[in-house]
């Protein structure tokens, strides 16, 4: 049994009452609920599960999420390495589900690392629109970038900045802003009991102050009629209903949106409503949502969907769209690569950007980013090197075999695909034409390989190597 801090126990007992508190404690004697969420940008859930020969129980509130009993089995599978699914705790799938991303929208994931929410949003956008994924920690932003590129998301921008600076760059720019806020993490005590130590050091008050600050800056970036989605993985009323109550008082042009269990949550009715009595008594707070570990198969979470009034007064400021310089002469090697290797992707030349020799395909309508700490601005295609073009792993992940003439596809259960993922050199049909090939597991892109006289030189990114 997890040893909860005494102060935490007292508060939870007061919130839930003796009988329900006993059920709450019992839930921590049950196994932790691992899950996976399938990349619908690449495949359909049931088709992938059928390919893998597994029958997994669906997460009730997310049609793309499923429960896992053996995490290790799925974390080593070539389909996982190929970005076909993301391993994620079931309750953590709720925030991105409530974003309800639609192709063509402009969305900000403000506290995005390590990428569970951003990969879900990116998959739902289906390559259309723009996803700006941010994390204040540069090291965590690197992991975020890795996950987005591994998922084959081609319309994302990854930055590492403070919310205040972002708000100055993108006033009223986004259709939706997701804030999965830093919090005291009480809902994660089951997964990481050691978090109780940081809870004792910080408590809820300091996180509440931080949440108010982030919410303020997030609101400035929501267009009139747009939405702000707020979530935490804590039970703390101060950080949950309390933060939303404060926000509504300070931002009268925002209102809470009722979450429809049937429409928004796949007909799931096991998620509780918020509790106004735990904040300022505003009855609108019943429109927020709470996930309790003793009510469902998942951990603790809180979420709220807020909409900015369509007739809100403009806050001022203007977003400048990025200007793309004329392509340098060296780009001829990129176009030559496409022609020689038989890659027929319909690139819009007006969206091709070259910076320091790196070729990127920027999202349509990308804003000016100069002055921000940018990890990636769009789909990273590769590097120009002395009159030749070297394609990137991210380029491969964004492609499908139908746009490539030269493809080598290995079955998901083959020894060859494992060796490829380990960056080993492979032998191939000596009759294959020399040159670059898109390497796939079944029909899903993994990376590149360069064939020379029956030998496949492995071009899988070393940082992605299967160990």
348 is annotated as contributing to ligand binding: no
Same fold for the domain at 90-308 and the one at 329-361+368-464? no
304 is annotated as contributing to ligand binding: no
Tens of pLDDT, residues 257-279: 999 999 999 999 999 999 999 99
What pLDDT is recorded for position 198? 81
Tens of pLDDT, residues 15-36: 999 999 999 999 999 988 899 9
Tens of pLDDT, residues 359-410: 999 999 999 999 999 999 999 999 999 889 999 999 999 999 999 999 999 9
What pLDDT is recorded for position 127? 97
* Reported CATH class of domain 329-361+368-464: alpha beta
**What whole-number distance in Å separates Cα of residue 211 and Cα of residue 243?**
7
Q: Is the pLDDT of residue 65 over 70?
A: yes
185 is annotated as contributing to ligand binding: no
Q: Is the pLDDT of residue 446 over 70?
A: yes
β-pairing, 358-361 vs 374-377, is: unpaired
* Residues noted as catalytic: 233
Tens of pLDDT, residues 219-272: 999 999 999 999 999 999 999 999 999 999 999 999 999 999 999 999 999 999
129 is annotated as contributing to ligand binding: no
Q: Which of 188, 186, 232, 182 is nearest to 207 (CA)?
A: 182
What pLDDT is recorded for position 1? 64
114 is annotated as contributing to ligand binding: yes
Tens of pLDDT, residues 83-133: 999 999 999 999 999 999 999 999 999 999 999 999 999 999 999 999 999
**What whole-number distance in Å separates Cα of residue 418 and Cα of residue 420?**
5
Could you tell me the fold of the domain covering 90-308? Rossmann fold (3.40.50)
Domain range list for the chain: 90-308, 329-361+368-464
> If 0-12 CB within 10 Å is exposed, 13-18 middle and 19+ buried, where does residue 268 land?
middle
Q: Is the pTM of this model over 0.85?
A: yes
pLDDT (average), residues 285-289: 98
Tens of pLDDT, residues 125-173: 999 999 999 999 999 999 999 999 999 999 999 999 999 999 999 999 9
What pLDDT is recorded for position 387? 86
429 is annotated as contributing to ligand binding: no
**What whole-number distance in Å separates Cα of residue 60 and Cα of residue 58?**
6
Which residues have CB under 8 Å from 128's CB, separation 6+? 103, 104, 155, 364
135 is annotated as contributing to ligand binding: yes
């Amino acid at each position: 049994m997890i040893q909860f801090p005494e102060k935490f126990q007292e508060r939870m007992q007061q919130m839930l009452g003796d009988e329900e508190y006993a059920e709450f404690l019992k839930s921590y004697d049950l196994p932790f609920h691992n899950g996976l969420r399938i990349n619908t940008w690449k495949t359909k859930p049931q088709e992938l599960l059928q390919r893998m020969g597994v029958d997994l129980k669906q997460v009730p509130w997310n049609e793309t999420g499923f429960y896992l009993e053996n995490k290790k089995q799925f974390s080593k599978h070539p389909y996982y390495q190929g970005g076909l699914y993301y391993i994620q705790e079931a309750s953590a799938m709720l925030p991105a589900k409530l974003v309800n991303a639609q192709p063509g929208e402009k969305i900000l994931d403000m506290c995005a690392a390590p990428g569970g929410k951003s990969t879900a949003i990116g998959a739902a956008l289906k390559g259309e629109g723009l996803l700006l994924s941010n994390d204040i920690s540069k090291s965590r932003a690197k992991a975020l970038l890795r996950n987005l590129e591994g998922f084959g998301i081609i319309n994302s921008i990854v930055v590492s900045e403070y919310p205040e600076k972002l708000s100055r760059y993108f006033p009223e720019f986004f259709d939706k802003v997701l804030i999965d806020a830093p919090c005291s993490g009480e809902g994660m005590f089951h997964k990481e009991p050691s978090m109780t130590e940081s809870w004792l050091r910080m408590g809820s008050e300091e996180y509440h102050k931080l949440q108010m600050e982030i919410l303020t800056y997030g609101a400035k970036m929501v267009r009139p009629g747009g939405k702000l989605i707020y979530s935490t993985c804590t039970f703390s009323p101060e950080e949950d209903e309390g933060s939303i109550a404060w926000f509504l008082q300070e931002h009268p042009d925002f209102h809470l949106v009722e979450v429809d269990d049937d429409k928004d949550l796949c007909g799931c009715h096991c998620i509780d409503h918020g509790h106004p009595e735990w904040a300022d008594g505003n009855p609108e707070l019943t429109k927020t949502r709470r996930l309790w570990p003793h009510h469902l198969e998942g951990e603790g979470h809180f979420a709220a969907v807020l909409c900015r009034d369509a007739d809100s007064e403009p806050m001022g400021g203007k977003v400048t769209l990025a200007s793309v310089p004329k392509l340098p002469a060296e780009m001829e090697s990129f176009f030559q690569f496409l022609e020689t290797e038989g890659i027929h992707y319909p690139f819009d030349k007006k969206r091709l950007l070259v910076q320091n020799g790196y070729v990127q395909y920027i999202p349509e309508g990308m804003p000016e980013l100069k002055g921000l700490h940018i990890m990636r601005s769009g789909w990273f295609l590769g590097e120009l090197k002395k009159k030749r073009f070297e394609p990137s792993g991210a380029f491969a992940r964004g492609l499908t075999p139908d746009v490539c003439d030269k493809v080598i596809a290995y079955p998901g259960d083959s020894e060859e695909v494992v060796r490829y993922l380990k960056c080993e050199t492979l032998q191939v049909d000596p009759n294959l034409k020399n040159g670059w090939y898109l390497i796939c597991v079944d029909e899903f892109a993994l990376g590149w390989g360069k064939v020379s006289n029956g030998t496949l030189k492995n071009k899988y990114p070393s940082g992605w190597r299967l160990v």
